[in-house]
Amino acid sequence: MSRLRLNAVRVVRAPHFLALTIGLAIVFAGCQQANAPQSTQLVNTATPTANANNQWNAYVDKFLNDYFAARPDVAVYAGRHEFDGRLPDWSAEGLSKEIQRLHAERDKASAFKDDTLDERQRFERDYLLAQIDKDLFWMETADFPHTNPYYYADSIDPDVYVSREYAAPDVRLRAFTAYAKAVPVALQQIRSNLKLPLPRTYIKIGRTTIGGLADFYAKDVAAVFASVKDDQLQKDFKTANEAAIKAIKDFDSWLAQQEPSARDNFALGAEKFSRMLKATEGVDVPLDKLEEIGKQDLERNLAASREACATYAPGKSLPECMAKASAQKPAGSVVAAATNQLADLKKFILEKDIVTIPGMEEAKVAEAPPYKRWNFAYINIPGAFENNLPSTYYVSPPDPTWSQAKRNEYIPGRGSLLFTSVHEVFPGHFLQFLHANRSKSKFGQVFVGYAFAEGWAHYTEEMMYEAGLGANDPEMHIGQLQEALLRDVRFLSAIGMHTKGMKVEESEMMFVEQGLQDAGNAEQQAQRGTFDPAYLNYTMGKLMIRKLREDWTASRGGRAAWKRFHDQFLQYGGPPIPLVRKAMIGSSDGSLF
């Protein structure tokens, strides 16, 4: 997502550190991996046929059900509404129990040997193991439950009950009321977990994403459910909602009290950062090499920017050129402009035959609620178990506390908004969902990786321009490049801030000077890199997809094979891209980048 609220629960937004569940799909191809010692309780090695295959299928079903029981927030966003109103057990005992459960599940899944599984099941096993490794990294290695309030932000967000019309208002109001009753206990657990002193940017994002819920409860939630005419239900809701508001305000006040003692101790360090890349995305590349790859992509996009600006604003500097393009604001509201863009983008995809659009679903456009406006755009996609519900592409107005000049800067130019719409909807996240929603694999529909989702969406921006979007208009090209430069600096800032001692202020300056971003966006993006160290996945995923496309199409017709490549790539849903590469290429040979 661009300038957006990014990684979890079929809501494409900021990464959920346990499970990024967008609801994408997997159609399985060959992919194998080394296994742990076999458990005779799970697999009979003498019969590597249908019996063993059925055991695996049953195991996957049980894994999902057990995962949902431990993570009811994930279940609800996926559309399993028997879990409505429940939150995870975030007590010290609950966290320890979940870590132990995940380790046990890893042992069980690893016990299924290659010769007991068919090709689809081997891929599914490796994907499931990758999901467990991701969860364990954030919980154990990064220790985010004890260090990062943002770890809890998506889970405690009640948006699913309010904005997703999966049931009648009275049914959803009962679910929200049960959820609201659970909030005070959950917040006490979170408060007990967090180790002081906290990084100052962690406090800020915690106050924004969790503390900001108080106004949401009081205004938006009450308004949405005002039509429910059940007096007792409204009375129960009022009591629970007021208690939740008080708990949120108390938690926000407690966070505010930590501000004087706040530190800048957010960095993972080089060792943990490298482990993050391997555990969460299957990428095992030395950091120096990875940083050089990012610098090369930044220079490539800066060179393209200079070329476009020479035509668009001859004689002006790059910042002046970008300012000129950014000053060309969409006509009318951003919501209206984005709505018009979606129809044009769909038509372009069909005319150019870029990728299959498998269905008639459409995405709505709406203004983001205030507590979610810390980034410019995101898309909310219904869960894998929902039926016939719309997706909503949200765009955010600037912070009203900013100066008028800063607010004007924050509203994207026409070109930047166009490629944001590409990223979020066509052919980015929304189209990815359309493919995924038609998978036969519920496991693949529930779990998707950060680099896969954001890498694909970011990849589509450049790919669409290369396919002719913008009709070679330098202003539109500059819009695409503004988004690319933003992600390049995210890539370098993540490595710099978490492994090389880069300060937040230095990252912010890099966003301005090399990312050519406005002051408001630069401030947000630099701060985001502290609590979202994996936001290098936009560029990292894009580069892996570009390299895979190059290698796969080399023997299949080159550019003429792009559509086939896109359709096949999207079939995999959301596993780590190295797994997809091995499945599509047939081996692990070749470079990821």
Nearest to 69 by CA among 41, 89, 48: 89
Residue 427 makes CB contacts below 8 A (sequence gap 6+) with 345, 349, 354, 355, 357, 460, 464, 566
CB of 78 closer than 8 Å to CB of 385: yes
- CA–CA dist 238, 231 (Å, integer): 10
Write out the H or E segment, with its range, that includes residue 392: strand 391-395
Question: Tell me, what DSSP letter sits at residue 533?
Answer: T
3 state DSSP class of 461: helix
Residue 20: what pLDDT?
Answer: 43
Residue 383: what pLDDT?
Answer: 86
- CA–CA dist 555, 564 (Å, integer): 13
97: which 2 tokens? 């129990």
Residue 375: what pLDDT?
Answer: 64
3 state DSSP class of 142: coil
Q: How many helices (H) and strands (E) does the chain have?
A: 27, 4
- CA–CA dist 268, 273 (Å, integer): 6
Angle between the N-to-C axes of helices 562-570 and 429-436, in degrees from 0 to 180, rounded to the nearest 10: 70
Sheet of strand 391-395, all strands in order from the earlier edge strand to the far edge: 11-12, 377-380, 391-395, 363-367
Residue 52: what pLDDT?
Answer: 59
| DSSP code per residue over 114-128 | GGGS-HHHHHHHHHH
- CA–CA dist 24, 573 (Å, integer): 5
Nearest to 569 by CA among 427, 442, 468: 427
Residue ranges in the chain modelled with pLDDT below 70: 1-52, 370-372, 374-375, 440
3 state DSSP class of 104: helix
CB of 25 closer than 8 Å to CB of 438: yes
pTM reported for the whole predicted model: 0.89
CB of 129 closer than 8 Å to CB of 33: yes
Which amino acid makes up residue 341?
Answer: Q
Write b or e for each residue in 162-191: b if 16 or more Cβ atoms lie within 10 A of its Cβ, otherwise e.
bbbebeebeebbbbbbbbbbbbbebbebbe
